[in-house]
Amino acid sequence: MQDLLLPDGFLEQSREGVIIDVRTPSEFSSGHIPGAVNLPIFTDDERAEVGTLYVKEGKDKAVEKGLERVGPKLATFVRQARQLSEGKPLFLYCWRGGMRSASMAWLFRTAGFKTYLLEGGYKAYRHSFEQLLSAHSWKLIVLGGPTGCGKTDILHHLQSTGQQVINLEGLACHKGSAFGSLGESKQPSTEQFGNELHNCMRKMNPQKPVWCEGESLNIGQVYIPNEFYALMKSGLFIQFELKTGFRLKQILKDYGHFPANELIVSFQKLEKRLGREATSNAIEHIMKNELEEAIAIAIHYYDKGYESSILKQWPQTHTFVANSDKPETNARKLLEFYTTISN
């Protein structure tokens, strides 16, 4: 009998092995345990075929068809597992911890591999994130502030000093605005974003503060899990403020190097909210390489939106006003400020 592990034990012990997801490629693409390798026992079409047969003719016929499809692949599975394993144990899962992972585990054990199974499968893993969040009294510090304050750079510096930091925008591959996709790779699915966040939170010590940036519920096309967002809204919110001149400089550094046509497309996405005239003016400034003027128009829009959205979600705030545009200086002073208000 293969060793069955609950999600906590599976994730902990699998650090010394190889995690194998035996679900279909499309299931894996939608979301998977970070670090897992996809070794699908069925293709998408094969799973659909077996599932249809199960509904129409029953379990026995479906199992026979499954064996018919899988049989010719057994030797290939073993060869692939040997390449992946390199002497390390294998940690397998499917959707519910059922026949797919159990069958593959039997094969690998027969071939001499040490194998472990995730009890309850991927479904149990997904549920374990909610359990992790509710099991502790997390000390979340939410760093807010309007566009261009350099909050991400500050969080990076806080992390370099040993502070626990969750980079939500980094996980989402998006900076959280109409311009947020510029220079970023393709966003993950909302499901996979949640898995990556789950992975980060498991590395955190719940007895110590965890910093993250204030965000709305969505970052680009992905959504923050409701349980984590509720945790954010109950956390300590620090409103970070920076002089407008410093903010213009920061935004110019972040976005000024992108081609004009990409900046124009981003402004066009805002036209309904920004207004036709303001959008037209911003685009005209970009075409004249007057980027600071275009940025000033964007700042005016984002500041209004920030006040009507983010600040309403965190009515209880502490305000930190910076006198420097150096992120390392602001990170140090912000940490001092947090120490003061938390004592």
Active site amino acids: 94
Q: Say how far apart CA 258 and CA 252 lie, in whole Å.
A: 10
Cα 337 from Cα 322, distance rounded (Å): 11
Query: Which residue's entry shows tokens 């549920």?
Result: 127
Distance CA 305, CA 297 (A): 13
Q: What CA–CA distance (Å, rounded) separates 137 from 293? A: 46
Q: How far apart are CA 303 and CA 214, in angstroms?
A: 14
Write phi, then psi, for 98 (nearest 5 degrees).
-100, -140
Instruction: Give the separation between CA 60 and CA 80, rounded to whole angstroms.
Output: 29
- Token pair 């075929």 is at which residue? 49
For residue 44, how far is the Cα from the chain centroid? 25
| Cα Rg of the chain, angstroms | 25
Determine contact, residues 16/89, Cβ cutoff 8 Å.
yes
Question: Going along the chain, which residue ranges are E strands?
Answer: 3-5, 18-21, 37-38, 90-93, 115-118, 139-144, 164-166, 209-213, 218-219, 222-223, 236-241, 317-321
> 116 - beta bridge partners?
3, 91
Burial of 339 (C-beta count, 10 Å sphere; 0-12/13-18/19+): exposed
- Rounded CA-CA distance 293/286 in Å is 8
